[in-house]
């Protein structure tokens, strides 16, 4: 056996060992994630109490005030037209998504928040859909 063959076999063996180690870590991480996800789902289902009052500044110049008393709904109030609505939690791939088909101005309203930033979509009184990004103050 020549030196190149020995090196190739050694590299393959180390690669296989590394893959096995990563596979074990991934399996552990996935089971932790599953456990965490089921905890989140059960928390949402229980309508867990939270207390939250926050203000967000939006790129379009609006200020949005949030009041939340449980994980399944939040109330938003917009400074530009003194309107408010209650939005209900909806399943999202990431972050927290709150919607109401009869939200601001009696039209579809969405608040999708993650990490102190939110995408806010609503219709004005004339039916024009507006989407803006808001950041927590």
Q: Per-residue DSSP letters for 98-136?
A: EEETT-GGGS-EEEEEETTEEEEEEE-TTS-EEEEEEEE
| pLDDT at site 50 | 84
Q: Which residues, in sequence order, are CB contacts of 16 under 8 Å at separation 6+?
A: none
49-136 — its CATH code? 2.40.128
State the pLDDT at residue 24: 41
**Sign of the torsion angle spanned by Cα atoms 115, 119, 120, 121:** negative
Residue 48 confidence (pLDDT):
75
This prediction's pTM: 0.65
pLDDT of residue 6: 43
Q: Where are the domains of the chain?
A: 1-46, 49-136
Which pLDDT score, from 0 to 100, does residue 68 have? 96
pLDDT of residue 11: 47
Q: What confidence score (pLDDT) does residue 27 get?
A: 39
Distance separating alpha carbons of residues 73 and 54, to the nearest angstrom: 14
Residue 77 sits at the vertex; the CA angle it makes with 74 and 82, to the nearest 5 degrees, is 155
Whether residue 109 contacts residue 97, with contact meaning beta carbons closer than 8 Å, is answered with no
Report which of 71, 56, 79, 68 is spatially closest to residue 132, judged by C-alpha positions: 56
Could you read off the pLDDT tens digit of each residue along the chain, which spans 137 residues?
Answer: 555 554 555 544 444 444 444 444 433 334 333 333 333 333 444 567 789 999 999 999 999 999 999 999 999 999 988 899 999 999 999 999 999 999 999 999 999 999 999 999 999 889 999 999 999 99
The pLDDT value recorded for residue 64 is: 97
Classify 7 as helix, strand or coil. helix
Say how far apart CA 86 and CA 69 lie, in whole Å.
11
Residue 13 DSSP symbol: H
């Amino acid at each position: 056996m020549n030196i190149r063959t020995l090196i190739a076999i050694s590299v393959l063996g180390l690669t296989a060992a590394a893959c096995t180690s990563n596979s074990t870590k991934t399996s552990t991480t996935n089971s932790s994630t599953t456990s965490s996800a089921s905890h989140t789902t059960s928390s949402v289902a229980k309508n867990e109490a939270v207390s939250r009052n926050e203000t967000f500044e939006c790129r379009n110049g609006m200020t949005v005030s949030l009041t939340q008393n449980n994980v399944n709904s939040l109330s938003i109030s917009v400074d530009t037209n003194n309107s408010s609505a209650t939005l209900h939690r909806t399943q999202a791939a990431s972050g927290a998504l709150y919607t109401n088909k009869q939200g601001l101005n009696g039209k579809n309203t969405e608040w999708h928040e993650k990490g102190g930033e939110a995408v806010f979509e609503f219709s004005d009184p004339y039916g024009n859909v507006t989407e803006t990004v808001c950041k927590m103050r």
